[in-house]
Amino acid sequence: MCNNSLHDLVNSRGLHSFAKQVLYRKAPQRLGYQIRGVKGRRNPYTASQEEEWRKRNKTVLTYIAAAGIGMIGMSYAAVPLYRLYCQATGLGGTAVAGHDAGVVETMKPVKDRVIKITFNADVHASMQWNFRPQQSEIYVVPGETALAFYKARNPTDKPVIGISTYNVVPFDAGQYFNKIQCFCFEEQRLNPQEEVDMPVFFFIDPEFDDDPRMARVDTIILSYTFFEAKEGQKLPIPGYS
């Protein structure tokens, strides 16, 4: 009886090992079939979702391209528009241009507020002109017109066309620095060895004296920079040259 029990136990253990081997061999095959089955079938929901994503991506790319083109166009228009705005408002240290003659005639000078105007001149590295102010400084009072001169000379053996930008320091004083006549932003042609005087007719608005921000300002710097005029050239924005 014991021998029979032992024989049965051995047989049962062998059967168990055999079953495990069969399972281990078959399971990977069944798993592979399952995986291949999943990959082989296309989920309709996933397909429609992918198509929707493609449409959305095309729409987004279209918007991005349109925005990029618009920004390029705005960048070309921004400089001249901003320059005009600066000239009209005095923003960025740019002197205000364009005034009614009646306003100038009726101004009342603020005699007890003397301001020193210092003049500066520069030329771009590619510009071969000699350019300088004829006076280093003058003294004015708000509400009183003043005239200053710059001198430009073309020392080369060929005609050169120049154009200038300007700014005022301190920047906040630009809104009160009013130009009646100026050579800025206008092309100036000088023949070989030619020399010319360039006038600047201006005044400081009487309201300068009423602005608390100007209380400690007793010196204003007017600076011009000449560039050689070339087709397609973009001049620096006033106040940031």
pLDDT in tens, 185-208: 788 999 999 999 999 999 999 999
Nearest CA to 125 out of 11, 218, 217, 226 is that of: 226
Instruction: For 126-163, give the DSSP string.
Output: T---EEEES-SEEEE-TT-EEEEEEEEE--SSS-EEEE
Asked if residue 117 lies in contact with residue 222, where contact means CB atoms within 8 angstroms, the answer is: yes
- Class of 91-228 in CATH: mainly beta
Are 182 and 97 in contact, with CB atoms under 8 Å apart? Answer: yes
3-state SS, one letter per residue, for 29-76: HHHHHHHHHHHHCCCHHHHHHHHHHHHHHHHHHHHHHHHHHHHHHHHH
H or E element in which residue 16 lies = helix 2-40
Q: Please state the length of the chain.
A: 241
24: which 2 tokens?
A: 């281990």
9: its two tokens: 């136990």
pTM above 0.75, yes or no: no
Please classify residue 77 by burial: count the beta carbons closer than 10 Å to its beta carbon, then call 0-12 exposed, 13-18 middle and 19+ buried.
exposed
CA-CA distances (angstroms) from residue 219 to 173, 204, 206?
10, 12, 15
Per-residue pLDDT of the chain (241 residues; tens, 9 = 90+): 444 444 444 444 454 454 445 444 444 444 444 444 444 455 555 767 777 777 777 776 776 777 666 555 544 444 444 444 444 444 444 455 555 567 777 899 999 999 999 999 999 998 999 999 999 999 999 999 999 999 999 999 999 999 999 999 999 999 999 999 888 778 899 999 999 999 999 999 999 999 999 999 999 999 999 999 876 555 554 444 4
Q: If we measure between CA atoms, which residue out of 109, 107, 169 comes closest to residue 141? A: 109
> From the CB of residue 226, how many other CB atoms can be counted at a distance below 10 Å?
24
Handedness of CA 50, 55, 58, 64 (dihedral sign): negative
